[in-house]
Chains A and B, each alone.
Chain A
Amino acid sequence: MIVADRKPLAEILSFVASCRRILIVGCKGCVTVCNVGGQKEVEILAASLRMARRLAGDPLEIGEALLERQCDPEYVAELRERVSSCDTVVSMACGVGPQFLAEAFPEQRVVPALNTTFFGGAVRHGVWEERCAGCGHCVLERFDGLCPIARCSKNLLNGPCGGSANGVCEVHPDTVCIWDRIVRRKTARGRLADLKAIVPPKDWRPAGHGGPRRRVREDLTRTS
């Protein structure tokens, strides 16, 4: 899922400082599953903002909505009527959400409530870790399911750097050295020799370094 963090309340409050009425929109997709933008988080943000504004003597009317996903125009369109009556729409989806909302409702001011961070998964309830960098050319087969592009602090493709110590990355003690893991896994499977093959420098264009990416499936688009 796409993982995000909620922006500090002070920042969100600054976004809506001059508003009278806002609509907070959550998303039942990734942000629900990482407990940052689902039904409950929308309610909590609404209550927090309402209280903060009441304390400031400047009440704010807040509507709450929850879309199946904010990354599909069909779902976004459901909000048309509600959106027109508010000053600002606050999106609690990943970065895609506010943009789709802004595109669907160009006259409407849309602001994000989240800082979108990474693609990852829950290692246990309450803890999510990055797993994928969206590099556009997946090499997981080569590394037996452990991704050095997402999980190596230096994106190295040909073995650990000198900073790997006791299986931990020198950049942060909480970061596992993924190369240590890759080497151990390969060894355990008797395939350490695989790593002798040198991986050439990565073409980063599919990773977005060459501009925003696009994907088209011709067989699904309309003919005209």
Chain B
Amino acid sequence: MTDAFEPRILAYCCRYCAYAAADLAGSMRLAYPPNVRIVQVPCTGRIDALFLLRAIEAGADGVYVAGCLEGECHFLEGNLRARKRVDFVKGVLGEIGLEPERVEMFNLSSAMGPRFAEIARDMTERIRRLGPSPLRTDDASGETALGRCA
């Protein structure tokens, strides 16, 4: 892909570690690309494989899950389960012909503001190199759950 596109990336961040690290990155005024949208979850163990698949289906170019360092999950094992689910989703993506690298799992602690920024940068770069998701629609069409409610 030679024409510059702006990756749309969703990041699921656990409240105790990754979200706090993101806040710290902000307090430290570290810069990272504005392509990442953070969704806070209480623990990455909350993340269903479906969240990752639906994000890709909705047109996200990349999705990542950021949780506590392994062995330090605030809820003990949630991040370990999350990793397995991320691996499962990578498998599904492979089966349907999408790059498994569009989905990833990262681990960091709440004190690692610079690492958060680095992850955001690295993932944005990775997706930029992979190119836009073939499922991405740039028009404003597409029913959202909100639209269905109305």
Whether A216 is near chain B, meaning CB under 8 Å from some CB there, is no
Contact between A52 and B49 (Cβ–Cβ < 8 Å)? no
Determine if A51 is an interface residue (Cβ-Cβ < 8 Å). Answer: yes
List residues 30-79 of chain A with CB under 8 A from any CB of chain B.
Answer: 40, 43-44, 47-48, 50-52, 54-55
Q: Does B111 contact A (CB under 8 A)?
A: no
Interface residues of B in 18-72 (CB under 8 A from A): 48-50, 53-54, 56-57
A9 near B53 (CB under 8 angstroms)? no
Q: How many angstroms between the C-alpha atoms of A51 and B97 in the bound complex?
A: 9
Counting from the closest, the 4 A-B pairs by CB-CB distance are A52-B96, A9-B95, A47-B53, A51-B57
Per the bound structure, the CA–CA distance linking A44 and B92 in Å amounts to: 9
Closest beta carbon of chain B to A56's beta carbon, Å: 8
A58 to chain B minimum Cβ distance, whole angstroms, is: 13
Q: Separation in Å of the B83 CB from the closest CB of chain A?
A: 14
A10 within 8 A of B: yes
Min C-beta distance of B50 to chain A, whole Å: 5
Given A9-B95, A9-B96, A10-B95, is A51 in contact with B50 using a C-beta cutoff of 8 Å?
no
B42 to chain A, nearest CB (A): 19
The docked-state distance in angstroms from the alpha carbon of A47 to that of B96 is 11
Number of B residues whose C-beta is below 8 Å from A?
A: 14
In the complex, whether B130 has a CB less than 8 A from a CB of chain A is: no
Question: Contact string, B81-97, partner A, CB cutoff 8 A, digits 1/0?
Answer: 00000000000100111
Tell yes or no: A8 within 8 A of B by CB.
yes
Contact call B97/A52, Cβ cutoff below 8 A? yes
* Known contacts A47-B54, A51-B57: A40-B48 contact under CB 8 Å: yes
B95 touches A48 (CB 8 A): yes
Give the total number of A-B pairs whose CB atoms are below 8 A apart.
Answer: 38
Per DSSP, are chain B's interface residues mostly helix, strand or loop, or mixed? helix
Bound complex: CA A51 to CA B98 (Å)? 9
Find B53's partner among A8, A48, A55 (CB 8 Å cutoff). Answer: A48
Please state if A44 and B97 are interface contacts (CB–CB under 8 Å).
Answer: no
A74 to B: closest C-beta gap in Å: 30
Q: A40-B50, A55-B135 are in contact. List 13 more A-B contacts (CB 8 A).
A: A9-B92, A40-B48, A43-B50, A44-B53, A47-B50, A47-B57, A48-B53, A51-B57, A51-B135, A52-B96, A52-B97, A54-B134, A55-B134
Chain B residues contacting A47 (CB-CB under 8 Å) are: 50, 53-54, 57
Residues on A with beta carbons closer than 8 Å to the beta carbon of B48: 40
- Against A, the Cβ 8 Å flags (1 = close, 0 = not) of B126-145 are 00000000110000000000
In the complex, 16 of the A-B residue pairs with CB atoms within 8 angstroms, ordered by the A residue number, are A9-B92, A9-B96, A40-B48, A44-B49, A44-B50, A47-B53, A48-B53, A48-B95, A48-B96, A51-B56, A51-B96, A51-B98, A51-B135, A52-B96, A52-B97, A55-B98
B residues near A48, Cβ cutoff 8 Å: 53, 92, 95-96
- Which of B49, B53, B57, B96 has most A Cβ within 10 Å? B96
- In angstroms, Cα B64 to Cα A137, docked, is 52
Return B99 CB to nearest CB of chain A, in Å.
Answer: 11
- B contact residues around A54 at 8 Å (CB): 134-135
